């Protein structure tokens, strides 16, 4: 069965969780955060998971979780960890969940939002802005490729972003419906 979740992807600090919770409230559907769910399953914080079991273990947990979510029934808003779409297999599975929305933030915005925080193991060390710039440059093409929709978030409030996402998802679903109907019509000709 094709699912109709709204899946938020994007770099650390782009607002996936905040916007996701807001969207879920606006649409009256459940909200799920993949990092939070993995922390529940593993019984520890992501930073400790990275330290004790390593990044590969965490990435496998992300893939396992997405596979599990495909069997759910109800429509949901799902916010994902910033590395979720990097594995090609995950990018494909996310698309199967529904509309994938990339919340696109600049390095400056991410830095401002995360400075002083210590819960992102990939940004630990002496030059977080440099790390953000480097990772963002590597990841941006992958986020773009994994997304159905791109919404810029710089200088916008979570409410403005959530409104834009709702509108864009509506248009995207309508486009997909037309494409599916056209394809179906073509099959019977």
Q: What CA–CA distance (Å, rounded) separates 93 from 187?
A: 26
Stretch that binds ligand S3P, among 75-83, 141-149, 169-177, 180-188 (CB under 6 A): 75-83
**Contact letters for ligand S3P, residues 130-149 (x by CB under 6 A):** --------------------
Check if the beta carbon of residue 3 is closer than 8 Å to that of residue 76.
Answer: no
Stretch that binds ligand S3P, among 21-29, 79-87, 148-156, 166-174 (CB under 6 A): 79-87
Q: Which two tokens stand for residue 172?
A: 């995207």
Q: What CA–CA distance (Å, rounded) separates 32 from 14?
A: 17
CA-wise closest residue to 106 among 154, 43, 145, 48 = 154
Contact partners, residue 152, CB within 8 Å, separation at least 6: 104, 105
Applying the rule CB under 6 A, the residues between 20 and 49 that interact with ligand S3P are 35, 46
For residue 24, the minimal CB distance to ligand S3P (Å) is 16
121 vs 152, beta carbon nearer ligand S3P? 121
Stretch that binds ligand S3P, among 92-100, 118-126, 148-156, 160-168 (CB under 6 A): 118-126
Q: Of 24, 61, 69, 83, which lies in the binding site for ligand S3P, with binding defined by CB under 6 A?
A: 83
Other CB atoms within 10 A of residue 171 CB: 11
Q: Provide the binding-site residues for ligand S3P, judged by CB under 6 A.
A: 12, 16, 35, 46, 81-83, 120-122
């Amino acid at each position: 069965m094709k699912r109709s979740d709204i899946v938020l992807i994007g770099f650390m600090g782009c607002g996936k969780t905040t916007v996701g919770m807001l969207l879920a409230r606006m649409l009256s559907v459940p909200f799920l955060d993949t990092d939070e769910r993995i922390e529940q399953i593993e019984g520890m914080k992501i930073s400790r998971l990275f330290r004790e079991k390593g990044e590969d273990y965490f990435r496998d947990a992300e893939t396992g979780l997405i596979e599990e979510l495909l069997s759910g029934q109800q429509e949901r808003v799902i916010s994902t960890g910033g590395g979720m779409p990097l594995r090609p297999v995950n990018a494909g599975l996310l698309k199967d969940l529904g509309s994938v929305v990339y919340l696109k933030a600049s390095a400056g915005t991410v830095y401002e939002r995360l400075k002083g925080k210590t819960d992102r193991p990939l940004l630990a060390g002496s030059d977080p802005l440099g790390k953000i710039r480097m990772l963002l440059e590597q990841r941006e093409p992958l986020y773009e490729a994994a997304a159905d929709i791109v919404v810029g978030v710089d200088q916008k409030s979570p409410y403005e972003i959530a409104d834009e996402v709702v509108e864009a998802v509506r248009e995207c679903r309508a486009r997909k419906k037309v494409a599916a109907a056209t394809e179906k019509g073509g099959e019977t000709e």
